[in-house]
Structure 1
């Protein structure tokens, strides 16, 4: 009986270290799981979402530039730009960065940023004088019959644009300069707002970019359509149409 007892004891002694290792391993797993959960909770709590209103931008491309710069800021997780509201929405780690730091970052690339929504704006268009024949036919992308707005005796320019379109502002500048020296130009502005608006479907079904100009001569005949940032083409067309007719 004694040999059996010694064998049994040896087997029990061999089992004890294995049991202890198993218990220790289970305890370590529980510890790591607890740490992981705590880390996840801390990360969630430290993340904040905020909106910055932007000013000084000329176009949608400027907004994309702001997003790129902010995404490079340590602690910024996401950044998206709203081209209509001129705002950027961010989520960031409060322990790593701050709203004030991001506002400073935006100012560092030449734009203004303000805390909160509802304050964003692009750079305003040129200020047309009362002597200039300029009218807005559509400000929200609604349908408009341009045939009713052709001004005979003047070169009529229908300018389809959007406030977020950079090339549109370049064309604005050219048209503004032409209006300063020629009283026989009638400029009719049409804000398309975005590509899904009724006026786009009405006149721009085959047009893929802005600005878009439809130009009529002084007799009321359609003379030219220009798509995109074709500044020299705009100048050349107006120069030709504004020449006095030879009798």
Structure 2
């Protein structure tokens, strides 16, 4: 079943829930995966950009969670599992991502509150935070680089597993959180990032540019900066 929905409009969200109930009679699981992003310097970010991200990423997920949870706590047997798709931006950031970071971290905040509130009704709420995935967003990142190979080399230096995440891997994590295999897990933020947020600094100084750990530590002692935001200049 497919239902067209603008998640920034509450009437569309309610229609989505109504159509689902008409077709299936109950709601056992929800994956909030709708999201938008842009990169813009903080000092140039306007109200329009802020509102757009908040409407889709935060307000949309909040109210769809609410509408589905209302059904979950009243159906028999009561209960269900809700998964919020956030991002590694819930733990770390990049310049120009302020509104996106605020929305994704807000998602964690309300999800923990809802998880605590609805636990007595057998409703679990968890957050899944992916790293860099091979999706349309990756195509946009590649478009800013001289080549996909150079882009991969740069980003792999920041990812311990040195690879992109396949969408199917995120889907499998969602299935786990939706299923009874995770029956004791609620209010959690599960990272699926190939180790990205566990790595202190980029491997780029001694891998991508052919240096050594010794030379990189010397560079650190002299005050040189080792990690940077990926821009076209970084690839040149």
TM-score (norm 1): 0.25
Task: Judging by fraction of residues, say which structure has more strand.
Answer: 1
Which is higher, the Rg of structure 1 or of structure 2?
1
TM-score (norm 2): 0.26
Task: Judging by fraction of residues, say which structure has more helix.
Answer: 2
